[in-house]
Chains A and B, each alone.
Chain A
Amino acid sequence: MSKNLRVKSSKFIDETYRVSFKFNGSRYYGYKGDTLASALLANDIHLVGRSFKYHRPRGIMTSGSEEPNVIVQLHNNSDRTEPNVRATEIEIYEGLEASSQNCWPSVNFDIGGINNLLSPLLPAGFYYKTFMWPASFWEKYEYFIRKSAGLGKSPTTPDPDIYEHEYIHCDVLIVGAGISGIIAAKTAAKNGLKTLLVDEKPNLGGSTIYQNSEHFKINNQNSGSWLEKEINEIKKIDNLDIRIRTSVAAFHGYNFLLARENLTDHLPIEQRKNKTRQKLLKIRAKKVITATGSLERPLIFDNNDRPGILLSSAIKRYADLFGVACGEKNIFLTNNDSAYETAISLIQKGIKVEAIVDNREEIESKLLYEVEKNNVKVFKGFTIVNTNGYKKINKVSLMKLSKDGQKVIGSKINLSCDCLGVSGGWTPAVHLFTQSGGKLKFREEDQVFIPNKYSSEQISIGACNGDLTLEDIIENTPKYLKEFLNIKKTDYDNVEVFSSENKSKRNIWLLPSDKILGKTKSFVDYQNDATAKDIKLALREGFRSIEHVKRYTTTGMGTDQGKLGNMHALGIISETAGTKMGEHGTTTFRPPYTPLTFGTIVGRNVGEYFDIFRKTPMHEWHLKNKAEFENVGQWKRAWYYPKNNENMFEAVQRESKAARENAGILDASTLGKIDIQGTDASEFLNRVYTNAWSKLAVGKCRYGLMLNEDGMVYDDGVTTRLGENHYIMTTTTGGAANVLGKLEDYLQTEWPELDVYLTSVTDHFATISVCGPNSKKIISNVIPDLDLSDENFPHMSFKNTKIGKVNCRVMRISFTGEHSYEINIQANYANSVWEKCMEVGKDFNITPYGTETMHLLRAEKGFIIVGQDTDATMTPIDLQMDWIVSKKKYDFIGKRSLYRSDTIKDDRKQLVGLLTDNPNEILEEGAQIVADVNKSPIEMLGHVTSSYYSPNLKKSIALGVVRGGKNMMGKKLIIPMENKTINVTVADPVFLDKENKRLNA
């Protein structure tokens, strides 16, 4: 089948550099500079894929990023495999392997093609309508639908490529390097502005660069040669940065744009090693000039989707840029002059043009005369009503259009062909403009949406601004640029332009057929197989909003985002509903303009750089001692230290016993620490904590509970009075940043009169906690100068002291209920002090323990963990911590909320202890608590918040929140689990040492 359709050498491809590639397992050849699509066309391959729903054969339709049909899988079954790559964009390289998607077993024989025959049974909304009932079956349906609906396969192994992010700040960003973009870039850069020019294609110059027709001239040269000279000039300008293969994905507010720069996708794989594959450019531009051009519209008629049917502009580009003929017997269907331009290009290259079918009745066009001179038959006022050829078009049928364009009349004329070019006029590419918040207006004459109101310092120029002809571009662009850039003149103020194009157009959104609509397949969205019939059905079923019609019919919801068909969908809706085009607006244009790879989005933030993490000064020691780590906020905290193949349960049991029987040591450095100074520091603490602080003596510590204004517990921790006007507050590990933020907020906004200064010192101090009956002996060896007697250094007090020459603060505070010390020391000395504790502690059986043991030990004592035993619905009263709420203080954050009608209810969830009837049964945290399992529905009373097996009490213990739990002491409750129910008794949450004897043991 491999015919060679390379017709003429093109200066844009390198015929001395032959490239071999594989498509669907067969080897083919192309040249450097080819896209996969142009190389396939040169090998006479049109059939590249199957459609999504009906599995109809589909071929190359366009030559750019708007391509709906030919999306392929690259390098199947390798770690570089990538789905949904547009064959029209990927440049071929030695070793490229691509395959068709959405077909099985092959693109030539696809079982799914049966859907095409079943299509009368698959109307718009088919899936919604069919798989709704019964609802419980959805999970089962979904599995099969997803399996049959997938577009391509995702890679299953890590991406071997490197991606980067780059920030760019510039005076002017120009998006699109077509003729207007080049004019803008030269003008901006020559005026000394730091300019960035980006274009998604590998070469500059848009569609003008390959325009070598006598019919389009600038300063008496053909427009392509003129532009080439301009491009050569701008390449020499220093303050102009040009990025090719760079597609702007998103245009956000305040001129913030994201673009993807493709650096290696066109290189043979062995040349990509150690190179960055793609960059995400984060561009902040003072001014943005959008010059994204326009996209040619297809036409909507019966069977308009066969392989061999292309946009007229694509046929021109393949011929002029790649020297490839899309067919040997070409026919065009058009409603404007563009198809004639293409026909002339083909004729020049000796490619046969059979006929042009033009919707227009009367045409005054120099291009038309030229075409007719070359013996091409032009059917004026005709349209195509059907096409034939399953895997490639071989025949078209035409009929005369009625005067109003709503019907076809007369008899059918059949013409044979192997390629049909269609042109429905042009749609300005306003995607980026609208993404940025710009508002469109509708231009009646040629039925296009164009920019109306800008949302930032930006303009659209050229075709994307509705200047669709060379004359308009050359005439208007310099004018717009002078105003926008605030300059007096440009190099283009006196450029002479000559164009043979006639602007007339006969716009018919849905071309009439001799068949009734129900019997036609006129595709509006090729990728999602949405037809004109589907859209009309949606309207009949009552959908009116364009956004609803879009979702119901899936028009414009493919990977191409409906770049080709959305305008027709709108047109058909307004024609059917009898409304004006402009009234419906458009569907929302959302980023990205073309799909981005995940690699580009994440850049270097992969693997260990995926997220920031914080390490304590003792981190290396924990590692060396085989700690397992737990993520707490961004911290890595030692979780437990397994010994001799212990599992977590066994390690925690051992550590918990050791801490109570001998001594335990914990790295508590992650707790938030806020240094509070100022003459109003005590008053400040009075206002932020629920308890009173004024009378706390210097050198003493106090536990504090902090609420939100809604009365719910927010954070807790011990605060120490270091001096008359100096405190150090500790917060929970996860809450540290938010607590500081909240305190600063109150100081700056509500109480600016208070003389208080806050400084986070979390990272500056490390905290080593030593607890257990042997802790005193250990500390007395580590800090021999410190008097540890209960008289001098009682529980809840602090001492300034020294270890060697290093100052440190030692607090005698306890989160385990044991006799316990916390050494706070400058972070860089912490590891050596830790090691000293371990060395001295050897004789006293010191055991390092992690956060899990810490949680277990505090649960034995009934101490809460904010965020585990509380959520944002627990007041201190709910926690049975009434003792910490000052009755005397006039006000503190959250006080008023503690007696709102809702917070004083008796049946709020309240914290209680839970003991299982079987002491060996350990509850699951999060398990629901009920009283009666026979009631239907079962009333949920609460849930388990903390649960452990206590090795010290030799039984299972748990904390939970239970509706009205405060008054349920001793009551039996039930925890229903999947296969059993567990009986529990409500108990005091303090399970161990209620008298606090161990604190001074």
Chain B
Amino acid sequence: MFIINCPFCGEREQSEFKAGGEAHIERPKQPTELSDDEWAEYLFMRKNIKGIQFERWNHIHGCRKWFNMVRDTSNDEIKAIYKMGEKPPVK
């Protein structure tokens, strides 16, 4: 179980959080303008990386805030945590 440093609450057990999939996939502003393929790209296509992955997490049993995490999925090392809307620290 990880210890996650919630940007609003500080260090907490992983059991307080919920993982929310890949980060930085923005909902298209004008979905109606998109072709089926473009919409499907947004809707279904997600990366599943072994290594550095950008993810969304939610402090669901705490402040309920969403935030972003950079995690190495091969060893669960958390490289960075930053708030929604902030620029990723490395990419």
State the A residues within 8 Å of B (CB).
Answer: 252-254, 256, 284, 437, 455, 709-710, 741, 744-745, 748-750, 752, 890-891, 895-897, 900-901
* Residue numbers in B under 8 Å from A891 (CB-CB): 30-32
Report how far A993 CA is from B32 CA in the complex, Å. 38
B3 A254 Cβ-Cβ under 8 A: yes
* Residue numbers in B under 8 Å from A252 (CB-CB): 1
Q: Which of A284, A709, A744 contacts B43 (CB under 8 A)? A: A709
Q: Which of A284, A455, A709, A749 contacts B56 (CB under 8 A)? A: A749
**Known interface pairs A455-B75, A745-B20, A749-B84; 4 further A-B residue pairs with C-beta atoms within 8 A, sorted by A's residue number:** A437-B76, A750-B26, A896-B34, A900-B36
- B residues 59-76 near A (Cβ < 8 Å) are 60, 64-66, 75-76
A936 to chain B, nearest CB (A): 35
B43 A437 Cβ-Cβ under 8 A: no
Report how far A962 CA is from B85 CA in the complex, Å. 45
Q: Which of A254, A750, A890, A901 contacts B27 (CB under 8 A)? A: A750
A848 to chain B, nearest CB (A): 35
Q: Which of B20, B31, B66 contacts A896 (CB under 8 A)? A: B31
Q: What are the interface flags for B18-59 relative to A under an 8 Å C-beta threshold, 1 for contact and 0 otherwise? A: 101000001110111010100110010000000000001010
A937 to chain B, nearest CB (A): 30
Report how far A749 CA is from B60 CA in the complex, Å. 15
A890 B1 Cβ-Cβ under 8 A: no
Report how far A437 CA is from B74 CA in the complex, Å. 10
* Residue numbers in B under 8 Å from A741 (CB-CB): 18, 58, 60, 64
B28 to chain A, nearest CB (A): 8
B66 A253 Cβ-Cβ under 8 A: no
A895 B84 Cβ-Cβ under 8 A: no
B65 A748 Cβ-Cβ under 8 A: yes
B73 to chain A, nearest CB (A): 12
- With A748-B65, A748-B84, A749-B56 as known contacts, state yes or no: A900 contacts B40, CB within 8 Å: yes
B36 A749 Cβ-Cβ under 8 A: no
B1 A253 Cβ-Cβ under 8 A: yes
Residue of A nearest to B66 (CB): A748
A901 B64 Cβ-Cβ under 8 A: no
* Residue numbers in B under 8 Å from A455 (CB-CB): 75
Report how far A163 CA is from B74 CA in the complex, Å. 35
- With A745-B20, A748-B66 as known contacts, state yes or no: A890 contacts B32, CB within 8 Å: yes
Report how far A651 CA is from B20 CA in the complex, Å. 44
A896 B1 Cβ-Cβ under 8 A: no
* Residue numbers in A under 8 Å from B13 (CB-CB): 284
- Among A709, A749, A750, max chain B CB count under 10 A is at A749
* Residue numbers in A under 8 Å from B65 (CB-CB): 748
Report how far A150 CA is from B20 CA in the complex, Å. 43
7 closest residue pairs by CB, A with B: A896-B31, A256-B1, A748-B66, A750-B27, A253-B76, A254-B2, A896-B39
14 contacts between A and B (CB under 8 A): A253-B75, A254-B1, A254-B76, A256-B1, A284-B13, A437-B75, A710-B43, A741-B64, A744-B66, A745-B20, A748-B65, A752-B84, A752-B85, A896-B34
A895 B31 Cβ-Cβ under 8 A: yes
Residue of A nearest to B23 (CB): A749
A886 to chain B, nearest CB (A): 13
Report how far A901 CA is from B37 CA in the complex, Å. 10
* Residue numbers in A under 8 Å from B34 (CB-CB): 896
Residue of A nearest to B76 (CB): A253
Residue of B nearest to A708 (CB): B43
Report how far A749 CA is from B57 CA in the complex, Å. 11
A896 B32 Cβ-Cβ under 8 A: yes
* Residue numbers in B under 8 Å from A890 (CB-CB): 32
B51 to chain A, nearest CB (A): 15
A741 to chain B, nearest CB (A): 7
Report how far A709 CA is from B65 CA in the complex, Å. 21
Report how far A256 CA is from B60 CA in the complex, Å. 21
Report how far A252 CA is from B13 CA in the complex, Å. 13
B58 A745 Cβ-Cβ under 8 A: yes
* Residue numbers in B under 8 Å from A752 (CB-CB): 84-85
Residue of B nearest to A741 (CB): B60
B84 A744 Cβ-Cβ under 8 A: no
Report how far A369 CA is from B58 CA in the complex, Å. 68
* Residue numbers in A under 8 Å from B20 (CB-CB): 745
Residue of B nearest to A710 (CB): B43
A537 to chain B, nearest CB (A): 34
A458 to chain B, nearest CB (A): 13
* Residue numbers in B under 8 Å from A710 (CB-CB): 43
Report how far A748 CA is from B59 CA in the complex, Å. 12
Residue of B nearest to A760 (CB): B64
Report how far A437 CA is from B13 CA in the complex, Å. 19
* Residue numbers in B under 8 Å from A709 (CB-CB): 27, 43
Report how far A719 CA is from B73 CA in the complex, Å. 42
Report how far A901 CA is from B39 CA in the complex, Å. 11
Report how far A878 CA is from B13 CA in the complex, Å. 42
* Residue numbers in A under 8 Å from B76 (CB-CB): 253-254, 437
A209 to chain B, nearest CB (A): 35
* Residue numbers in A under 8 Å from B39 (CB-CB): 896-897, 900
B43 to chain A, nearest CB (A): 6
* Residue numbers in B under 8 Å from A744 (CB-CB): 64, 66
Report how far A455 CA is from B75 CA in the complex, Å. 8
Report how far A896 CA is from B38 CA in the complex, Å. 11
A762 to chain B, nearest CB (A): 15
Residue of A nearest to B30 (CB): A891
